[in-house]
């Protein structure tokens, strides 16, 4: 990126010049810690790999300090040439056009490295949260950025942590030794970065750089969240002016709007409209149909819309053929109860899981864990590392919030995950028996993570749901605005 501010070049030189000292001091600090008597309290696994890590921490052209310095300087050059965008630019577009053959299977072991990288970032963020905010505002001015987004700071924690991870991959280390080095050196890098953030903030202030004024920005998710309440349906019914028979006007119009906004193929849009008959029948005996978004009818519509939005052409026709028996049973049956739609939801979930299993099997990915593999956390080792005392993971005896989160993911949900040593926004593109398929950016490969890997990320605070799929809610908001 080219900045018109004359202090930009001076600041870039300052940041690049700080790299060799950061790398050498971090390696030296880690070396001292590994050689200290405190290492005797480390777990046996760490002590086993210390011998292979120690030589690489000593000064020299083939050591970690040199590799880390080279990797970080290269990454910083890339950061300086990249044009920073506003925070809204981080939102990914729909990635439904990515075919299943462009699929990247995320190695479950990579998740452990990502967790170690995240710990480095969290250490710095916790120690200098206020200073980091100040530095973002100052850097935004230097780079003429529209907002003080995290990416305007080139030497931010995630950049240094990614460079450290890449440097370790260039060295001849086993995975366990690499994790030990990442943990030990990462902690030292965090300590040194904390000091550098304060130093750079003071220096830019001394140069007379004015911080970019803070701005209140509402994300699209926050702007839409106001419509996601049960009162939204009642407000729409009132605006339609059909108090005597709101369902007859609202339900067909709402289903049509859902199909339009989700850009469903004609065959799926027509299928969705077939829900009008059973929905109107249910509305006569259950007022919740036209008063609550939590009714399973609308959750069924959300599921069909989310699945259909990801498929077009022949895939849409195949999906319609699979869904048709589920809707035919609702359409022709006499059961208009809450439970009938719940059963339809279960059937649709089973169809979606089978579809994803088939796609992954065609791509060469094992669709299901081996029989008797145990619950989700035990895929990572449900017992502790003590040699004689088995230790069950927390939550296995009762409700496990992390497993519940993974199990609740559905196509169309927007999530935020720490993946490949960086935070990314993604849309759930498929849920198989053992994996979750994520679409990150338009045109990128689909990322396929094991459910156990997602469990570990959520357990470590590195995965969350930004916005569940809610096509009905979005359609309600659009129709309400049209009638105002």
> What residue ranges do the domains of the chain occupy?
7-91+113-206, 220-364+472-482
Q: Find residue 431's DSSP bridge partners.
A: 436
Between the CA of residue 81 and those of 143, 421, 441, what are the distances in Å? 11, 20, 21
The residue-averaged pLDDT of 26-34 equals 92
Q: Find residue 448's DSSP bridge partners.
A: 105, 437
Q: What confidence score (pLDDT) does residue 390 get?
A: 39
d(C-alpha 240, C-alpha 253), whole Å: 10
Burial (CB < 10 A; 0-12, 13-18, 19+), residue 205, is middle
The residue-averaged pLDDT of 371-377 equals 41
Q: What confidence score (pLDDT) does residue 98 get?
A: 43
| This prediction's pTM | 0.75
Between the CA of residue 163 and those of 171, 185, 226, what are the distances in Å? 13, 12, 41
Q: Find residue 94's DSSP bridge partners.
A: none
Between the CA of residue 228 and those of 220, 232, 310, 428, 470, what are the distances in Å? 13, 7, 23, 20, 8
Q: Which of 364, 380, 366 is nearest to 454 (CA)?
A: 380
Which of the four pLDDT bands, split at 50, 70 and 90, describes residue 94?
Answer: very low
Which of the four pLDDT bands, split at 50, 70 and 90, describes residue 171?
Answer: very high
Q: Which DSSP category does 233 fall into?
A: H
> CA quadruple 47, 49, 55, 59: dihedral positive or negative?
negative
Q: What confidence score (pLDDT) does residue 107 get?
A: 74
Query: Which is higher by pLDDT, 215 or 419?
Result: 419
Helical (H) or strand (E) element with 74 = helix 64-81
Q: Which of 355, 364, 276, 366 is nearest to 323 (CA)?
A: 355
Report the chain's mean pLDDT, rounded to a whole number: 81
Q: Which of 247, 266, 252 is nearest to 308 (CA)?
A: 266
Contacts of 179 (CB under 8 A, 6+ apart): 112, 113, 116
Q: Find residue 117's DSSP bridge partners.
A: none
Query: Which is higher by pLDDT, 47 or 64?
Result: 64
d(C-alpha 179, C-alpha 194), whole Å: 22
The residue-averaged pLDDT of 113-122 equals 87
Q: What confidence score (pLDDT) does residue 388 get?
A: 36
Residue 474 has pLDDT above 80, yes or no: yes
The residue-averaged pLDDT of 350-373 equals 74
Write the DSSP assignment of 389-449 as a string of letters. S--PPTTTTS--HHHHHHHH--TT-EEEEEETTEEEEEEEEEE-SSEEEEE-STTSPEEEE
Q: What confidence score (pLDDT) does residue 398 get?
A: 60
Tokens of residue 283, six digits: 């509305």
* SS3 call for 289: helix
């Amino acid at each position: 990126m080219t900045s018109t501010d004359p202090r930009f070049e001076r600041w870039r030189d300052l940041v690049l010049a700080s790299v060799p000292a950061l790398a050498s001091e971090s390696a030296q600090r880690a070396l001292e810690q590994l050689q200290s008597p405190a290492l005797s309290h480390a777990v046996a696994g760490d002590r086993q790999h210390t011998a292979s890590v120690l030589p690489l921490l000593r000064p020299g052209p083939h050591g970690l300090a040199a590799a880390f310095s080279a990797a970080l300087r290269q990454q910083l050059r890339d950061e300086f040439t990249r044009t920073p965008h506003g925070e809204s630019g981080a939102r990914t577009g729909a990635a439904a056009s990515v075919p299943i053959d462009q699929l990247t299977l995320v190695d479950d072991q990579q998740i452990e490295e990502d967790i170690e990288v995240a710990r480095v970032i969290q250490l710095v963020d916790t120690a200098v949260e206020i200073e980091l905010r100040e530095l973002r505002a100052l850097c935004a001015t230097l780079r003429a950025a529209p907002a003080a987004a995290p990416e305007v700071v080139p030497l931010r924690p995630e950049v240094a942590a990614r460079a450290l991870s890449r440097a370790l991959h260039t060295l001849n280390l086993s995975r366990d030794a690499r994790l030990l080095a990442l943990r030990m050196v990462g902690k030292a890098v965090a300590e040194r970065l904390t000091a550098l953030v304060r130093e750079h903030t003071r220096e830019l202030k001394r140069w007379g750089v004015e911080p970019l004024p803070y701005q209140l920005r509402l994300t699209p998710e926050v702007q839409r969240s106001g419509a996601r309440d049960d009162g939204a349906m009642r407000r729409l019914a009132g605006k339609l002016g059909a108090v005597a028979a709101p369902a007859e006007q609202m339900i067909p119009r709402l289903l049509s709007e859902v199909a339009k906004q989700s850009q469903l193929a004609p065959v799926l849009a027509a299928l969705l409209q077939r829900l009008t008959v059973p929905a109107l029948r249910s509305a006569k005996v259950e007022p919740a149909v036209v008063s609550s978004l939590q009714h399973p009818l609308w959750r069924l519509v959300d599921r069909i819309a989310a699945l259909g939005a990801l498929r077009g052409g022949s895939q849409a026709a195949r999906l319609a053929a699979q869904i048709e028996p589920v809707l035919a049973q609702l359409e022709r049956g006499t059961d208009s109860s809450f439970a009938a739609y719940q059963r339809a939801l279960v059937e649709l979930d089973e169809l979606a899981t089978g579809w994803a299993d088939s796609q992954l099997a065609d791509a060469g990915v094992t669709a299901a864990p081996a029989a008797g593999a145990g619950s989700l956390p035990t895929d990572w080792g449900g017992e502790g590392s003590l040699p004689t005392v088995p230790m069950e993971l927390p939550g296995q005896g009762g409700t496990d919030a992390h497993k519940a989160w993974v199990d609740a993911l559905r196509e169309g949900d927007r999530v935020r995950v720490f993946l490949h040593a960086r935070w990314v926004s993604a849309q759930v593109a498929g849920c198989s028996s053992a994996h979750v398929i994520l679409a990150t950016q338009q045109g990128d490969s689909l990322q396929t993570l094991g459910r156990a890997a997602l469990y570990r990320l959520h357990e470590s605070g590195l995965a969350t749901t930004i916005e569940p799929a809610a096509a009905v809610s979005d359609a309600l908001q659009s129709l309400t605005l049209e009638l105002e």
